[in-house]
Amino acid sequence: MSNATAEIVQISIATAKAAAKWGNNALISPTALGYQIHLSANEPLRSMQKAGRSLDNLGICQLQLAGSGWSKDLQWAFYQGFCNAKRHDGVAFNNEQGAAEQLVQLAQCFSFAKKMINETPEVLSPLALAEQAETFIRTIAPEGTVSSELISAEELANAGWHGIYQVGRGSSRPPALLVLDFNPGKDNSQSVAAALVGKGITFDSGGYSIKPTEGMATMKCDMGGAATVTAALALAILQGLNQRVKLILCCAENLISGHAYKLGDIITYKNGTTVEIVNTDAEGRLVLADGLMCASETKAPLIIDAATLTGAAMVAVGGEYNALFALDQPLATRALQYAANEQEATWQLPLQKWHQQQCPSPYADTANSRPVKGGGAGGASNAAGFLSRFVPNDGKGWLHFDLAAAFNNSANGYWAAGATGQGIRSIAAILLAETAAS
């Protein structure tokens, strides 16, 4: 061990319980070079993440995972607990099992997503979100494999993307639709294997259905879906993705002004569906509808959207799980297994075709919600039902992630406050496996 390495705090995995003087069943105890972690046999990953959180709370900024026993999953659990909103580095990974390079790639993609989600909305405008996502993918992808189109402001309405335009027109900073094409074969005749769609609401006041302060304070995270699918594409590229994939980000600020969309407005979408606005705070599904239709135009057999869409999903599954919705049950079953393989907690919630009818309107084909708090009972399923109106083939090949676990309002024993990155590994794994099988 070099002197420079020895000066860094060394973190090892203990094979025995901590000495009694450190407390009953202590999770960490000091050593001559740093600390050792005494893992729970029942929940090793959770106890490892808790140890990372505890060591961050001690003020340690840089450490080395040393010794033996460091599997990839244990190292990643530690990293997730140790990092906070102000620092996404400081962990020198252990390469005993040859996983260090993969872990560095994971950290690179998670760091991008977390920094974007935690960024102040004053800095991260809709256009800035789109531009930074494109720049990140270009830094990851081989040269010449990425092209893009950015449609903004009035051009959105002219192109028929009325959902994004209507939600974003109340802000002085224009809404935008990014369509990025990752084409590793550099062949425009190659079919698109998958399309990723992300909700990119850079700040959500709720519009005229305005949120209370406690509900609005963290709404910089409402572009978490866009950050998640961007990071997932980047991770898949780093892991060898060789299929053509389109990334579609629906970016807007949902603000109040004399030019903002209003309750009672009716939006007519490209596919002819008319939508009455009964809640301007149910805006995520309005922008995703455009993104899903844009994805449908690519003829991709796999469409995955991700969004911090409903509080109802958080009520249903809590803050540790993401919620998954699908009409294609065989695909959903595979997706849940991919997520489990990546150690990302994901739970499927109900979705049937009849959920499309759960938000009726006397003036349009559907309302965008129900005019009651939180959208009423089954709000997350009803939102997914709304989205299902805008996907092809009766939902075959489509997955919807409601990212209940993407952001924590405050720190707890396992996570720092802010973005978690939960969902990135799952979506990257689905993308790689399903496009390889197609």
Amino acid at 260: A
CA angle 223, 369, 287 (to 5 degrees): 35
Tokens of 331: 């695909």
Q: Which long-range contacts (CB under 8 A, 24 or more apart) does 339-342 make?
A: 339/425, 339/426, 339/429, 339/430, 341/429, 342/425, 342/426, 342/429
Strand partners, 11: 35, 65
Strand partners, 10: 34, 64
Measured between alpha carbons, how far is 351 from 420 in angstroms, rounded to an integer? 26
Measured between alpha carbons, how far is 321 from 197 in angstroms, rounded to an integer? 20
Residues 120, 230: contact at Cβ < 8 Å?
Answer: no
Strand order in the sheet with 266-268: 266-268, 274-276, 366-367
Residues 71, 100: contact at Cβ < 8 Å?
Answer: no
Identified catalytic residue from 199, 285, 370, 389: 285
Which residues are within 8 A (CB) of 40 and not within 5 positions of it... i.e. 6 or more apart?
27, 46, 47
Residues 224, 322: contact at Cβ < 8 Å?
Answer: no
Measured between alpha carbons, how far is 308 from 311 in angstroms, rounded to an integer? 8
Residues 151, 176: contact at Cβ < 8 Å?
Answer: yes
Is 353 assigned a catalytic role? Answer: no
Identified catalytic residue from 87, 211, 270, 334: 211
Is 211 assigned a catalytic role? Answer: yes
DSSP annotation of 123: T
DSSP annotation of 178: E
Q: Nearest CA to 309 among 406, 415, 205?
A: 406
* Cα pseudo-dihedral 204, 208, 209, 213, rounded to 10: 60
Strand partners, 92: 64
Indicate the pairing of strand 366-367 with strand 302-307: unpaired
**Tokens 């294997």 correspond to what residue?**
193
Catalytic residues: 211, 285
